[in-house]
Chains A and B, each alone.
Chain A
Amino acid sequence: MRVRVIRSGGFAGVERRGERDAASDPVLRDLLDRVDLDGAPPAEEAPDRFSYEIDIDGRVATVGEAQLTGPLRDLVRHVLDEPD
């Protein structure tokens, strides 16, 4: 499974992208087992907050920063290579 994340928005409006393949990433495989992309809440439009487009093998959801919690947040941070 391939996972692609695009972070947009924020005060700076600078886009960040990350992509990983579960075939060579055991941490990602473990995260994917715990993520429910279809259960993600609809993106909230809030000034200068980040917006995350998450693509898991062609299934796509857009999640607002304030709604990004739990395993989905861990997945996004892992794919974008951000510190916890």
Chain B
Amino acid sequence: MRCTILPPHILEHLAETADDRALREMARRTLTMSSAHRAERRAVAFAPVAPTEDFVPERAVHDARHRERLPGDLVRAEGQAPTGDAAVDRAYDWLGVTFGFFAEIYRRDSIDGAGMTMVSTVHYGRGYANAFWNGRQMVYGDGDGRLFLSFTGPLEVTGHELVHGVTQHTADLEYHGQSGALNESISDVFGSLVKQWHLRQTADEADWIIGAGLLGPDVNGVGLRSMKEPGTAYDDPRLGKDPQPGHMDDYVETHHDNGGVHINSGIPNRAFYLAAVALGGHAWEKAGRIWYDTLTGDAMKPTIEFDAFAAATVETAERLYGAGGTESRAVRDAWREVGVES
């Protein structure tokens, strides 16, 4: 059965009343998709979920109406019909996809693991070229329309911001220096995995770009960061050149950007990419599982640095897949290739 061909009112009815739990869940999941998703021709229907699936998204999208007050006016609550405002509806849809990813793949119920309402505010400020997580919610600007388009556009931006919330509720990594770069990297890793899952891409097929489609048409760049080849995402006279290193030899010492958290995240980003490609298949299944269990595991502490995090991922891989296995070897080799000893 393809839920995507059913009109929303039938899906809503099914989501509420169907006797079969799996059918209810499938209807609910499809309702979290958008016209944007339906237009994504490469996307396929979601696999039927396990009958124990009982997590339900709770979304609330607000409109700042170009002011900077949060959360702004509530314009679309859970289950409500599309508003016709592309930023509102896309934010709503991408929250649904991100929720679905964590629920289905890692059995996580929302940001805090306990069904927390996912709150987003769109149209924040005027020409605001940014998105952020403020400790309670996600916030998106429309971009300046020249260098940056709307931050509600790319799915991985929503994934990235929501995962800042997941990190806050788990490892709570301090947002400066190496722990801050790990915080950033974890948001990029799972932001990219949400998109790969949505498009059903293998590690080889994925673009590993963060912020694809975010740059204006005249900007020379494919996005903001490349997990595959850090430092190559853009090179433009107005934006400058992508400053990310992909190896510890090029680690950037700076007091800007909280000690370069958006710069040095290129190093753990590339380690994840290398591990994922070495393991093959869908990156969320093994590499993603290893990173997720590490993030939510006991080895983490807020000030952890690259080498201790790397060692923790190797230990997780050994625990999940056995010591001396191909998985733990792939993870260790990946860190070694970016100059981090685990």
Contact = CB atoms under 8 A, between A and B. Distances in A.
Interface of A: 6, 8-15, 45-51, 53, 62, 66, 83
Given A6-B256, A11-B157, A83 B148 contact: no
6 contacts: A6-B256, A8-B257, A9-B262, A11-B211, A47-B184, A49-B130
Nearest to A45: B175
B148 A51 contact: no
B258 A12 contact: no
A46 B132 contact: yes
B164 A48 contact: yes
Query: Among the interface residues A13, A14, A47, A48, which one has the most CB atoms of the partner chain B within 10 A?
Result: A47
B135 to A, nearest CB: 7
A53 B256 contact: yes
Contacts of B160: 11, 48
A51 B184 CA distance: 15
Given A45-B258, A51-B258, A13 B130 contact: no
B251 interface: no
Contacts, number: 80
Interface in B239-263: 239-240, 243, 255-258, 261-263
B131 interface: yes
Nearest to B259: A45
Nearest to B266: A13
Contacts of B151: 11
Given A13-B224, A49-B132, A8 B164 contact: no
B161 A83 contact: no
Contact of B175 (A6, A47, A53): A47
Given A9-B258, A12-B224, A53-B256, A46 B175 contact: yes
Contact of A48 (B127, B161, B174, B243): B161
A10 B180 CA distance: 13
A66 B130 CA distance: 13
A9 B183 CA distance: 13
